[in-house]
Structure 1
């Protein structure tokens, strides 16, 4: 769909270049500008939309707190000195 805006912008530009009417040229140039902006906006939106994260994968604060507590417990468990062997 966004490529249709670019095609319409090019067609409006060609009509503006070929016409002898000043009024038609101004209207076509404005239409070409509008279609070009719509194409750029659509292209940008599709690029950003394809890179954005899935909201379902984001962590809520409770889960984040639980993961931090687990990481801290693992860190403390790995730092405790080993017990001497029983003789």
Structure 2
């Protein structure tokens, strides 16, 4: 869809440059400006969406707290003093 805005903007620019009517030239230049701004906006929006993270993969605060507790428990279990060797 964004490329359609670019194509239409370029066509409006060409029509503005080829016409002899002042009114048609102003209308075409304004249309070209609007279409080129829409193209840039859509292109930028598609770039942002392509690099954004999936929101479903984000952790909520409760799950984050639970994971921290598990990590702390594992850390404390790993730091327990070793048992003396039997024998």
TM-score, normalization by structure 1: 0.91
* Residue segments in structure 2 that go unaligned for 5+ positions in a row: none
Which runs of no fewer than 5 residues in structure 1 stay unpaired? none
| Structure 1 runs, 4 residues or longer, greater than 2 Å off | none
Instruction: Give the stretch that moved more between structures: 30-39 or 46-55.
Output: 46-55
What does residue 77 of structure 2 align with? 77
> Which moved further from structure 2: 25-34 or 75-84?
75-84
- Aligned residue number for residue 24 of structure 1: 24
Q: Deviations over 1:1-40 (max 9, x none)?
A: 1110000000000011111112211111110010001001
- TM-score, with structure 2 as normaliser: 0.91
Partner Cα separation in structure 2 for residue 20 and residue 81 of structure 1: 91
Q: CA RMSD in A?
A: 1.1
- Counting matched residue pairs gives 87
Q: What is the distance in 2 between the residues matched to 1:78 and 1:44?
A: 49
How far off its partner does 1:54 sit?
1.6
